[in-house]
């Protein structure tokens, strides 16, 4: 894979790159018109999607940072984008063009004060993994294997300007006004800024390792604080394969089930006991080792769930609260899904749509055990998503819907369900986290 010697950092450079991507997409549409004449619509559209996905991904890979991160976030939900985009954007999880060795050494030197070879007995110049915000290099000190995570230069400084460039496109796609999306954009902006603060990630990682100690089959690397700063993290190297590779192996249901149970327990244990969640659930952030233990990586995107959101959000996971009309409406108001300006007709529509939606989405929470490998549940989710997109009554209801906290909670739930389904492990115990002792 070709490495990068330079990342555009100024507003002008980054805006110019985005305009260039837009121009290439325009060229692809011209080709699409010709292909549609020469072949059928489906093939022409597939070629267009493939060309656009490749050009957009390659352009964002050179920009790094928040633009690429948002592409990665969208790849978690194959209901948002065509499959050609999902397949390409999913590479942003841990396989993008890395920084060149000289540039990576320079970033490390600026952060630590010494070049990597002056700190470590072994340092691999070629990165092992490269994602949207940073890349990881293998290293050693006294035969201890380490992972050195180096942040791309200028990533933090470019977030605000990148989001300003992206915002108009998001408004057009979601058919919203600027003031209706400001809370959501602020939430995304704050989280992206937090992800570039490696000191905060170090704190999150240490805390998570401590809180997860009772879960003996869930491992989190230890940090070497001496060689870690606001844009470099040095930690224990954890041997294993990423979940995306684990999926493809010839494994027994029992092994897959064990990993699935640990993954589910990890999330629910942290959410319900500490109201905190690892809000970046993609395969690149998880490994499985030779003992079939789950390894959790990258704690840059942690979401603390406010009590006034947590309580109504999980009350809606209880079937009796969905079926009780008065309780249901009250909870939707608490979560800002029903607002004071809604007409009676709007309220009826919202309640009808969300009752149908939550009844399906929350099915796992209504059982002692649930089989995430069964295609029936995910077919229901896909059918629901397609139906909601075409719901004429829902389209008539304008304005912002839902608390800003839905942005990362929904992202987490969608990502977790996708991981559980891909593991194909069979039934897991839904409330097993209650049997795990708290620290």
Summarize the confidence of residues 45-63 as an average pLDDT. Answer: 67
> pLDDT tens for residues 129-176?
887 788 999 999 999 999 999 998 888 877 777 777 666 655 655 555
Task: Give me the residues paired with residue 235 across strands.
Answer: 147, 223
For 69-194, list the strands marked E by DSSP.
122-123, 129-130, 134-141, 144-151
> pLDDT tens for residues 290-331?
999 999 999 999 999 999 999 999 999 999 999 999 999 999
Pairing of strands 144-151, 232-236: antiparallel
State in Å, rounded, how far the first CA of the chain is from the last one: 44
What percent of the chain lies above the pLDDT cut of 90?
Answer: 48
Residue 169 C-beta-side C-alpha neighbours within 13 Å: 10
Query: Which residue did the predictor score with more confidence, 178 or 141?
Result: 141
> pLDDT tens for residues 240-292?
999 989 999 999 999 999 999 999 999 999 999 999 999 989 888 999 999 99
Residues composing the chain: 439
pLDDT recorded at residue 9: 61
Query: Structure pTM?
Result: 0.81
Summarize the confidence of residues 116-120 as an average pLDDT. Answer: 96
What percent of the chain lies above the pLDDT cut of 70?
Answer: 73
> pLDDT tens for residues 192-202?
889 899 999 99
Residue 117: phi and psi, rounded to 5, are -70, -15
Which stretch of 39-53, 258-272, 411-425 has the lowest confidence by average pLDDT?
39-53
For 107-217, list the strands marked E by DSSP.
122-123, 129-130, 134-141, 144-151
For the chain, the domains span 11-92, 306-404
Summarize the confidence of residues 78-106 as an average pLDDT. Answer: 66
pLDDT recorded at residue 313: 96
Q: In the structure encoding, which two tokens stand for residue 189, read together?
A: 């902006």
* pLDDT tier for residue 180 given thresholds of 50, 70 and 90: low
> pLDDT tens for residues 344-400?
998 998 999 899 889 888 999 989 999 998 888 888 887 877 777 667 776 677 667
**How many whole angstroms separate alpha carbon 434 and alpha carbon 265?**
9
pLDDT recorded at residue 171: 61
Which stretch of 61-70, 106-115, 419-428 has the lowest confidence by average pLDDT?
61-70
> What's the mean per-residue pLDDT of the chain?
83
Closest CA to 69 of 60, 82, 56: 60
DSSP state of 61: H
Summarize the confidence of residues 60-87 as an average pLDDT. Answer: 58
Q: Is there a contact between 101 and 291 (Cβ–Cβ < 8 Å)? A: no
Closest CA to 218 of 181, 255, 266, 270: 266
Q: Is there a contact between 132 and 72 (Cβ–Cβ < 8 Å)? A: yes
pLDDT recorded at residue 188: 81
Residue 4: phi and psi, rounded to 5, are -110, 130
Closest CA to 9 of 129, 159, 127, 111: 159
pLDDT at 182 over 70: yes
Q: In the structure encoding, which two tokens stand for residue 118, read together?
A: 């002056």
């Amino acid at each position: 894979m070709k490495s990068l010697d330079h990342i555009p950092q100024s507003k002008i450079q980054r805006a110019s790159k985005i305009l260039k991507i837009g121009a290439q997409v325009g060229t692809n549409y011209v080709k699409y018109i010709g292909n549609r004449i020469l072949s059928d619509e489906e093939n022409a559209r597939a070629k267009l999607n493939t060309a656009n996905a490749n050009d957009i991904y390659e352009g964002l890979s050179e920009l790094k940072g928040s633009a690429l991160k948002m592409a990665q976030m969208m790849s978690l939900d194959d209901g948002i984008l065509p499959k050609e985009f999902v397949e390409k954007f999913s590479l942003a999880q841990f396989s993008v063009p890395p920084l060149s060795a000289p540039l990576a050494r320079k970033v490390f030197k600026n952060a630590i004060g010494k070049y990597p070879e002056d700190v470590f007995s072994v340092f691999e110049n070629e990165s092992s993994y490269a994602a949207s915000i940073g890349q990881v290099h293998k290293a050693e000190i006294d035969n201890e294997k380490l992972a050195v995570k180096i942040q791309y230069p200028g990533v933090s400084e470019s977030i605000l300007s990148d989001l300003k460039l992206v915002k108009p496109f998001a408004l057009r796609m979601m058919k919203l006004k600027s003031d209706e999306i400001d809370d959501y954009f602020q939430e995304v902006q704050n989280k992206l800024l937090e992800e570039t603060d490696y000191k905060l990630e170090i704190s999150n990682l240490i805390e998570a390792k401590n809180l997860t100690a009772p879960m003996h089959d869930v491992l989190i690397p230890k940090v070497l604080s001496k060689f870690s700063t606001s844009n470099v993290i040095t930690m224990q190297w954890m041997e294993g394969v990423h979940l995306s590779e684990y999926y493809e192996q010839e494994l027994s249901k029992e092994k897959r089930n064990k990993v699935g149970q640990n993954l589910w327990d990890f999330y629910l244990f942290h959410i319900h006991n500490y109201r905190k969640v690892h809000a970046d659930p993609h395969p690149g952030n998880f490994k499985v080792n030779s003992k079939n233990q789950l390894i959790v990586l990258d704690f840059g995107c942690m979401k603390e769930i406010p009590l006034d959101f947590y309580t109504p959000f999980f009350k809606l996971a209880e079937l009796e609260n969905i079926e009780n009309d008065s309780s249901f409406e009250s909870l939707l108001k608490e979560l800002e899904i029903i607002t004071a300006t809604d007409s009676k007709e709007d309220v009826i529509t919202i309640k009808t749509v969300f009752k149908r939606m939550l009844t399906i989405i929350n099915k796992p929470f209504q059982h002692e055990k649930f089989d995430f490998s069964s295609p029936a549940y995910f077919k229901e989710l896909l059918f629901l998503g397609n139906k909601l997109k075409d719901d004429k009554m829902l389209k008539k209801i304008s304005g912002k819907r839902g608390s800003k906290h839905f942005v990362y909670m929904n992202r987490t739930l969608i990502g977790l369900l996708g991981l559980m389904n891909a593991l194909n492990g069979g039934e897991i115990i839904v409330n097993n986290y209650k049997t795990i002792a708290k620290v």
